[in-house]
Structure 1
């Protein structure tokens, strides 16, 4: 649940980023990447401003991560709750890799200090480091990204407290979650990305209706479970305080 408040807001990325004016959920991941531009909101720097280096490693054998969103925000902010329905903003990430709506919601509600992204896909076995600003009242961190090819799978760090002291780190192992917002038909027409090239959003209503641990790829549609199934954890996230 997002808690409205006031505070300084900015958006930066290590490569490219997107916030307001985000791409529609049903565009392919290629459209999402092509439409990303660098934006900056706010110029004030708090006296207690710091920096986190957030390193994400893809631990799956055959799944790719869409552009990863990292946000620093106030305590009590969570972008999902297990066993509860996914918000439209979370569904946009899980179904189409589009973090624009969630980024905008975090910034406009005043709970976020900074939102950043690596601006590209993360292949199996690869790592990327994203720099994101923090401050004393904004030390909690959220990380999220879609797995492709899937219908609505995502990895996440859901509002944990980051380290306060310089050079200290926190390590989180993320499973793959299912947003429950789209049927897991495993049809390429409903999955974006380089493998399938489909759209991020199934035309069929349904899904489980709540966020849960994903059951993986079973080979019921266009995907081979031998190539694209995984075992948890799916991502290793290291949050290191740089300053």
Structure 2
């Protein structure tokens, strides 16, 4: 048998194995000092599905999640493509250093994993994983997740008393009760309007005025901001 034929057979075998249903456990841990994650959406889906795409414009559903923590639109998208969805496993916010776990039996063909949740306090920041191939081999796998910017809102770093709905400029909440007020705004424009790696909060040391309402000793971060542990059984 020719080497090329062997390679084709091995490739077909691996593809077939990846397409099988899999029993997996998932753990998400918040690695940050002062950030909170809004309800998470975790989806095992096929090779054509996604929750977000780096370098592309955010969908309306991604914008609603990134600016206000509303995952319903992303859940609807995932359900519409037959994904296996885990919705809000922490039953609310995931605090710094906290973790949440869930299990799922994937459907045949759902061999990619995506994760998303808004980061608070931020204007339109979110923690995410885009189309990670679920390994066929049993074992425990660790993936570190970055923070991304939806590119839909200027990062003015001002906490507002609002719904966080798209179009409401400002951070909808600072759950740790450690933010200030009275800031003038870090910026009023967003130069990169595509989904991109978040540059992080700047903050300042003046919680009654200054440019930002965020505390530069609490709310700044460097990537990664979360750890995902996937156990394939």
Common fold: TM-score over 0.5: yes
Instruction: Provide the C-alpha distance between the structure 2 equivalents of 1:209 and 1:111, rounded to a whole number of angstroms.
Output: 30
Q: Does 1:84 align with 2:68?
A: no
Q: Which residue of 2 aligns with 1:213?
A: 197
Q: Which runs of 5+ in 1 are unaligned?
A: 1-47, 198-204
- Aligned partner (choices 206, 222, 225) of residue 231 of structure 1: 222
Deviation at residue 70 of structure 1 after TM alignment: 0.7
Q: Which residue of 1 aligns with 2:141?
A: 170
Deviation at residue 169 of structure 1 after TM alignment: 2.4
Structure 1 residues 76 and 170: alpha-carbon distance in aligned structure 2, compared to 1, 3 A threshold:
farther
Instruction: Provide the C-alpha distance between the structure 1 equivalents of 2:48 and 2:142, rounded to a whole number of angstroms.
Output: 20
- Aligned partner (choices 181, 184, 200) of residue 155 of structure 2: 184
- Please tell me whether the aligned partners of residues 41 and 85 of structure 2 are also in contact (alpha carbons under 8 angstroms): no
| 3-state SS, counterpart of residue 218 of structure 2 | helix
Instruction: Provide the C-alpha distance between the structure 2 equivalents of 1:55 and 1:135, rounded to a whole number of angstroms.
Output: 19
- Please tell me whether the aligned partners of residues 106 and 112 of structure 1 are also in contact (alpha carbons under 8 angstroms): yes
Instruction: Provide the C-alpha distance between the structure 2 equivalents of 1:71 and 1:141, rounded to a whole number of angstroms.
Output: 6
- Give the structure-2-normalised TM-score: 0.73
Structure 2 matches for 1:59-70, cutoff 5 A? 59-70=31-42
- Give the structure-1-normalised TM-score: 0.70
- Aligned partner (choices 91, 99, 116) of residue 144 of structure 1: 116
Structure 2 matches for 1:40-51, cutoff 5 A? 49-51=21-23
Q: Which residue of 2 aligns with 1:12?
A: none
- Please tell me whether the aligned partners of residues 21 and 109 of structure 2 are also in contact (alpha carbons under 8 angstroms): no
Q: Which residue of 2 aligns with 1:105?
A: 77
Q: Which runs of 5+ in 2 are unaligned?
A: 1-19, 161-169, 180-187, 204-210
Deviation at residue 195 of structure 1 after TM alignment: 4.4
Deviation at residue 113 of structure 1 after TM alignment: 3.1
> CA-atom RMSD, angstroms?
2.2
- Please tell me whether the aligned partners of residues 217 and 228 of structure 1 are also in contact (alpha carbons under 8 angstroms): yes
Deviation at residue 76 of structure 1 after TM alignment: 2.9
Q: Deviations over 1:105-152 (max 9, x none)?
A: 1212x2413343312211111111122231231121111111101101
> Which aligned segments of 4 or more residues in structure 1 are displaced greater than 6 angstroms?
none
Instruction: Provide the C-alpha distance between the structure 1 equivalents of 2:55 and 2:194, rounded to a whole number of angstroms.
Output: 5
